[in-house]
Amino acid sequence: MKQAFLVFLGGGFGSVLRFLISKPLNVLSPNFFYGTFLVNIVGCLLIGFILGLSARGNILSYNTTLFLATGFCGGFTTFSAFAFEKNFLLKNSELLHFSIYMISSIVIGVLAVVFGLWLSKLGE
């Protein structure tokens, strides 16, 4: 039960922070959702770093990893908003913006995870 509470608590913090970042940034352009893009990329970087530290052994406990990776990063990032925004762009025939947003989110997201993993190994 303690672990479920840690995930719940981390998810709450992540969700609130996502809201505070995404809401003002998503209004900057009708063709690109900067807030969602930013939280998803930062979340990829964070989860790579957190899971990299966790894999090193004695740096993060299992409960801390649950709180940060599963809870916080799970609440902070948002695949559902990402999917909805892609649908919005397609419905409005914004194929160029759809393609740029889709490809950059996936490619930069994966690179951010790799970079986070790399950062976690500094100082080994």
DSSP H or E stretch at residue 113: helix 95-121
User: Quick count: other Cβ atoms within 10 Å of Cβ 110?
Assistant: 12
* Distance separating alpha carbons of residues 94 and 51, to the nearest angstrom: 36
Q: Is the whole model's pTM more than 0.85, yes or no?
A: yes
- Angle between helix 79-91 and helix 34-55 axes, rounded to 10 deg: 150
74 marked as part of a ligand binding site: yes
Give the lowest-confidence range in 11-20, 28-37, 99-108: 28-37
Query: For residue 19, what is the enclosing H or E element?
Result: helix 2-25
Return d(Cα 45, Cα 41) in angstroms, integer: 6
When mean pLDDT is compared across 45-49, 58-62, 64-68, 106-110, the lowest value belongs to: 58-62
| pLDDT cut 70: percent of the chain above it | 100
Check whether 62 has a pLDDT greater than 90. Answer: yes
